[in-house]
Amino acid sequence: MAELTAGQNMTVAEAVGDGVFDEDCSEMVVVKDIEFYSLCEHHMLPFYGRVHVAYIPNGRIIGLSKVPRIVDVFARRLQVQERMTSQIAEAIREVLNPKGVGVVADAVHLCMMMRGISKQNSSTMTSCLLGGFRSDPRTRAEFLGLVRNFG
């Protein structure tokens, strides 16, 4: 249980370390299919799946291996998927001040599979779009298209 909730004792700054670099790049960066395992805070049962994270740099980029570390900060704790999705997006925004951030999470919830309505094949998708991902329909469509096609 300590390992499953280790994210509670981690900060985003610790996860990122010195993994932020000045870079004059303005194209969308997408890190797809980041596996995560979390615990539903209502039922104390796992939910798990994949997260896709994208941002448009604004003079700085983040080391690609740091993105899954940020995901783990917010996944490895008692959580709800909707909040986890927006916390990841806000963390990327705070670290990079990018032109936009998009996060999509796709997960199955054991609390839906093992109890209650007992649905085995449903998955839950949540998204958080900030900056250009929210305001520019082309950016949003590009991101969601990439996630859909390859996710």
Active-site residues: which are they? Answer: 40-43, 81, 109, 111
| 83 forms part of the interface with Zn ion (CB under 5 A) | no
| 43 forms part of the interface with Zn ion (CB under 5 A) | yes
Q: How far is the CB of 116 from Zn ion (least distance, A)?
A: 9
Candidate segments 7-15, 19-27, 40-48, 115-123, binder of Zn ion by CB under 5 A: 40-48
| 140 forms part of the interface with Zn ion (CB under 5 A) | no
| Cβ-based neighbour number of residue 103 at 10 Å | 28
Using the rule CB under 5 A, which residue among 111, 124, 126, 136 binds Zn ion?
111
Answer whether 29's CB lies under 8 Å from 54's CB: yes
Q: How far apart are alpha carbons 39 and 80 in whole angstroms?
A: 8
Listed in sequence order, the residues at least 6 apart from 120 whose beta carbon sits closer than 8 Å to its beta carbon are 113
Using the rule CB under 5 A, which residue among 8, 21, 23, 42 binds Zn ion?
42
By beta-carbon proximity to Zn ion, the closer residue of 20 and 45 is: 45
Structure tokens at 98: 């990018």
Sheet-wide strand order for 29-40: 78-79, 29-40, 46-56, 100-109, 124-131
By beta-carbon proximity to Zn ion, the closer residue of 21 and 37 is: 37
Q: How far is the CB of 113 from Zn ion (least distance, A)?
A: 10
Task: Establish how many alpha carbons lie within 13 A of residue 144's alpha carbon, considering only the half-sphere containing its beta carbon.
Answer: 13
Interface residues with Zn ion (CB under 5 A)? 40, 42-43, 111
